[in-house]
Amino acid sequence: MDIKKAKITDVAKYAGVSVSTVSLVLSGKGRISDTTITKVNHAIEALNYVRNTAAANLRSHQSNLIGLVVRDITDPFYMGITSGISDQLERQGYMLFLAQSGNSKEKQLQCIQSMIQQGVAGIILSPVREAINASLDLIHQANIPVISIARSETGADIDYVGPDNTLAAKMATEHLIAQGHRHIAYVGGGGESLTRAERIGGYCSTLMQYGLPFKNDWIVECSLSQASAVEVTHQLLNKHPKITAILCHRPATAIGALYGAQLAGKSIGQDNYIGQQVALLGFDNAPETELTRPALSMIHTPTEEIGYQTAKLMARKLTTPLAPRQSIHIKPSLLLRGSA
């Protein structure tokens, strides 16, 4: 037997008040006595009334929905950010509307358009490079705030919260130099990655600062899979046996690089034995990097903190639309283990 869904008129009748009084209680507005509030809340509970928030948003021209568009919802990096955003937004009375765009311009624009049609109050996104201008045009036309996460150098004048990729690469490169390494390579990521571009900038500038060589052949792209990193690292070390240390773009790259180096006849570790051992240092720490032998040294940026700061900034932008643009970089730290 179907149970009839309670309406606001049913709540008003049960509580013995007007519909407008129920509406004021639900919105927390107006001067309503504690006795009346108690009666309305009792009626809501008794009737299992569920408020139609979407309809209320349309009537009030306000929304408690915040859109979040990320590249890959299964990526531990974005999972941490999403968790931080969701926790903080819920504390402030907002709900998260999550979508995944991959690296597709068309998919990102589609996600943004759908969110705008659903009446979100603001949008947080990890921009796809080719979609930046078109995405921002859509959002600005909707007259809602936008924050970029994870990818800062978009070339657009928008708020940003994310890791300091340049500083992270400088920190990693300086550590390897301090360990005595003079031939340092960078493996992973693709040419379309803004994050990779920032890290390579920090890596190259640090090598130049210390008067050390770098070659384009030592900066190698590979796909997201461990298998791709195995193959690329194996080929790199066979072709350039003088390389004694490798910066790895992501956890999967670091794990694949470990096996690729072993296939090339190298051991993995902190000591700089020329021609025998290779140090590995990765970015974006993940639990699995502690399970290898040796465990992988990683640069860690607290992803949930990125999420917390993003949610707080969005709340400020919603209450103060004309506030100056902010760029918040979360400082990285170095987790030293057995590989570097």
- The domains found in the chain, sorted by start residue, are 8-51 (no CATH), 65-162+304-331 (3.40.50.2300), 165-300 (3.40.50.2300)
Instruction: Supply the DSSP symbol for 278.
Output: E
User: Residue 273 has what pLDDT?
Assistant: 57
User: Residue 47 has what pLDDT?
Assistant: 85
Check the CA dihedral 112-118-122-125 and report its sign. Answer: negative
The model's pTM: 0.76
User: Residue 331 has what pLDDT?
Assistant: 94
Q: Which residue has the tokens 């597709």?
A: 104
Task: Provide CB contacts within 8 A for 248, sequence distance 6+.
Answer: 187, 188, 229, 254, 257, 280, 281, 282, 283, 296
User: Residue 1 has what pLDDT?
Assistant: 41
Q: Are 169 and 247 in contact (CB under 8 A)?
A: yes
**Distance between CA atoms of 48 and 165, rounded to whole angstroms?**
49
Q: Tell which residue, 165, 164, 108, has the closest CA to residue 131.
A: 108
> What tens-digit pLDDT sequence spans the chain (340 residues)?
455 678 888 889 999 998 878 877 876 666 788 899 899 989 888 888 866 555 555 444 567 899 999 989 988 889 999 999 999 999 988 999 999 998 889 999 999 999 988 889 999 999 887 888 888 888 988 889 999 997 655 566 789 999 999 999 999 999 999 999 999 999 999 987 888 999 999 999 999 999 998 899 999 999 989 999 999 999 999 999 999 999 999 999 999 999 999 999 999 987 765 558 999 999 999 999 999 999 999 999 999 999 999 999 999 999 888 889 899 999 999 999 999 9
Q: Tell which residue, 284, 296, 224, has the closest CA to residue 255.
A: 296
Q: What one-character-per-residue DSSP string does 110-161 give?
A: HHHHHHHHTT-SEEEE---GGGHHHHHHHHHHTT--EEEES----SS--EEE
**Distance between CA atoms of 156 and 199, rounded to whole angstroms?**
19
